[in-house]
Amino acid sequence: MDPHTLKAVLRCPVCHRPLRAATTLPCGHTVCAHHPTVPCPLQHCAPPAGPARPRIPPTSRVNYLPAPAAPPVPQPPQAALKLDVTVNKIIALLDSVLADDDDDDGSPPTTPTVRYRPDSDSGPSRPRKRQRMVHPESDDEDDDLLSHLRANAAREREEADEPNLEKELQTELSCEICFTLLYNPVTTPCQHTFCSKCLHRALDHSNLCPLCRDELPGFSFFDDHPTNQTLETLLVTAFPVDYIARGDAIAAEERDARLDTPIFVCMLIFPGHPTALHFFEPRYRLMLRRCLEQDVPSFGMIMPARPGAPPSDYGTMLEVRSVQMLADGRSMVETWSTYRFRILERGTLDGYTVARIERIDDVPDSPSLGLPLPGGPSNEQLMDTCTQFLQQLRRGTAPWVVQRLNNVYGAPPTDPAQFAYWVALVLPIDEFEKAKLLPIRSTHLRLRMVVQWIEQLSNNWWFTSGCVIF
């Protein structure tokens, strides 16, 4: 690793001289702090063309609405301008290595020498190498075996104290969140640098810098933030193989995360209904971003478990239809429930549940299966029983309740397979009781279960009194 090659990367794009007191601008360019910084002093620098968008495939049908444009971050006065922490540490490291190389010209010094290396922080330098004592050569010392061994030992100790440039440079180019090599480095206004994805994950939890705890702009400011071009060039120059491997590892992690079905533990949903959701928890904000990168963005929805009971194994898949992003990273999502599923195996990924699922489809009702039972009511008769009960509810209920039923759930469907789900949504019974419809693969059996609920409700005293409360 040639320090001269790395030093050539650390040049100011404005004055074309080695960077000194470097600061990184919001556009991603790193310049010397004495240059004007508002706007960027580079003529070819242009702000992003539009709002950021995730990597939504062109075949996706999601109506994605980005967050409103983030207001520009006010720049501090030139005297109070902060310096890029990572870039200035690397400059000090390379200057120290190059200074040591210039001092070590091969001629033995005749006086004791102590070499110093500039520290990364401001303040006096501290000695980083052992004191080297070289005595004038003499014939007596050449013949003295003890002096020869002492000289070799001192030389080995000095070589052991030489700084390892590659190791120290890799330490400085590591993200302070994931503690691995930076990838797509993004520098915050407080001049700390992180991987772009790591910074997004941190902003899901808090708008404070993970290191200095300064308040950062909103999530939308960093959604498609330019990378630190100087550090990105340095990473490609110093660690080309490791940088490519880092990118491959991130892509493999995202790909593996999309192979499993993400599960949103929230509430009971039946197929064939729209649902509006508010994503605000950090884990589900990350889950949604990953879902949007699928050809058909979707996730599963299951109910929370009862206290002390195992989690539910049955749920409904939701297909994302529209996303409205908010400036702080939250989002309003419109979905449509498509089909039921059973969880075969579950796990946890970055805080949210993922699972391997099996789709549940109805089997046709036929006499060979005993459905409907001989002499029993048909699907149409069961639907009429449900309709008469609902009409009775409407006659004995306040008008505003009837209006709410019509507005929230809409008109009853004519398909018997969907009719049982619609009636279950309307009935005032426990949600865990309603969830018993999800595993049933027969339309007739679902209708019979709904009719049983209606019979139980009809036998209760508060129905016979003609007063219905929702």
Query: Stretch 230-255: mean pLDDT, rounded?
Result: 90
Instruction: Compute the C-alpha angle 85/234/206, nearest 5°.
Output: 45
Greatest mean pLDDT range, 41-55, 95-109, 249-263: 249-263
Examine the domain organization and report whether 420 and 332 are in the same domain: no
Q: Which pLDDT score is estimated for 371?
A: 53
Greatest mean pLDDT range, 42-56, 59-73, 148-162, 452-466: 59-73
Examine the domain organization and report whether 295 and 341 are in the same domain: yes
Q: Which pLDDT score is estimated for 293?
A: 87
Domain boundary among 226, 254, 282: 254
Which residues lie below 8 Å from residue 96, measured CB to CB, with a gap of 6+? Answer: 117, 118, 128, 163
Query: Stretch 277-293: mean pLDDT, rounded?
Result: 93
| Radius of gyration, alpha carbons of the chain | 34
Alpha-carbon distance 330 to 262, whole Å? 18
State what percent of residues in the chain have pLDDT above 90: 42
Q: Which pLDDT score is estimated for 52?
A: 62
Which residues lie below 8 Å from residue 54, measured CB to CB, with a gap of 6+? Answer: 64, 289, 292, 293
- Would you place residue 202 in the very low, low, confident or very high pLDDT band (cuts 50, 70, 90)? very high
Domain membership of residue 340 (yes or no) is yes
Query: Stretch 416-430: mean pLDDT, rounded?
Result: 88
pLDDT at residue 257 greater than cutoff 80: no
Domain membership of residue 106 (yes or no) is no
pLDDT at residue 328 greater than cutoff 90: no
State what percent of residues in the chain have pLDDT above 70: 77
Q: Which pLDDT score is estimated for 304?
A: 94
Query: Stretch 2-28: mean pLDDT, rounded?
Result: 91
Q: Per this entry, what is the length of the chain?
A: 470
- Would you place residue 270 in the very low, low, confident or very high pLDDT band (cuts 50, 70, 90)? very high
Q: Cα 410 to chain center, whole Å?
A: 37
Q: Which pLDDT score is estimated for 56?
A: 83
Tell which wins on pLDDT, 368 or 444.
Answer: 444
Q: Which pLDDT score is estimated for 221?
A: 84
Domain boundary among 306, 336, 360: 360
Lowest mean pLDDT among 97-106, 205-214, 268-277, 418-427: 97-106
Can you say whether the dihedral through the CA atoms of 460, 465, 466, 469 is positive or negative?
negative
CATH number of the domain that residue 245 is part of: 3.30.40.10
Q: Which two structure tokens, joined as six digits, stand for 222?
A: 């960093």
Query: Stretch 435-451: mean pLDDT, rounded?
Result: 92
Q: Which pLDDT score is estimated for 406?
A: 61
Examine the domain organization and report whether 238 and 320 are in the same domain: no
- Would you place residue 112 in the very low, low, confident or very high pLDDT band (cuts 50, 70, 90)? very low
Domain membership of residue 333 (yes or no) is yes
Domain membership of residue 167 (yes or no) is no
pLDDT at residue 275 greater than cutoff 80: yes
Domain membership of residue 423 (yes or no) is yes
Domain boundary among 228, 254, 280: 254
Q: What is the pLDDT of residues 341-379, one digit of tens each?
A: 999 988 888 889 999 899 999 987 655 444 555 557 888
Q: Which pLDDT score is estimated for 387?
A: 86
Q: Which pLDDT score is estimated for 359?
A: 95
- Would you place residue 55 in the very low, low, confident or very high pLDDT band (cuts 50, 70, 90)? confident
Domains identified in the chain, total number = 3
pLDDT at residue 122 greater than cutoff 70: no
Query: Stretch 144-166: mean pLDDT, rounded?
Result: 69
CATH number of the domain that residue 312 is part of: 2.30.130.40
Tell which wins on pLDDT, 325 or 403.
Answer: 325
pLDDT at residue 448 greater than cutoff 50: yes
pTM of the predicted model as reported, rounded to 2 decimal places: 0.65
Q: Which pLDDT score is estimated for 289?
A: 92
Q: What is the pLDDT of residues 64-73, one digit of tens each?
A: 888 877 676 6
Alpha-carbon distance 454 to 315, whole Å? 24
Examine the domain organization and report whether 353 and 385 are in the same domain: no
3-state secondary structure the chain: CCHHHHHHHCECCCCCCECCCEEECCCCCEEECCCCCCCCCCCCCCCCCCCCCCCCCCCCCCEEECCCCCCCCCCCCHHHCCCCHHHHHHHHHHHHHHHHHHHCCCCCCCCCECCEECCCCCCCCEECCCCECCCCCCHHHHHCHHHHHHHHHHHHHHHHHCCCHHHHHHHHCECCCCCCECCCEEECCCCCEEEHHHHHHHHHHCCECCCCCCECCCHHHHCCCCCCHHHHHHHHHHCHHHHHHHHHHHHHHHHHHHHCEEEEECCCCCCCCEEEEEECCHHHHHHHHHHHCCCCCEEEEECCCCCCCCCCCEEEEEEEEEEEECCCCCEEEEEEEEEEEEEEEEEEECCEEEEEEEEECCCCCCHHHCCCCCCCCCHHHHHHHHHHHHHHHHHCCCHHHHHHHHHHHCCCCCCHHHHHHHHHHHCCCCHHHHHHHCCCCCHHHHHHHHHHHHHHHHCCHHHHCCCCCC
- Would you place residue 110 in the very low, low, confident or very high pLDDT band (cuts 50, 70, 90)? very low
Name the residue range of residue 219's domain: 173-254
Query: Stretch 439-458: mean pLDDT, rounded?
Result: 90
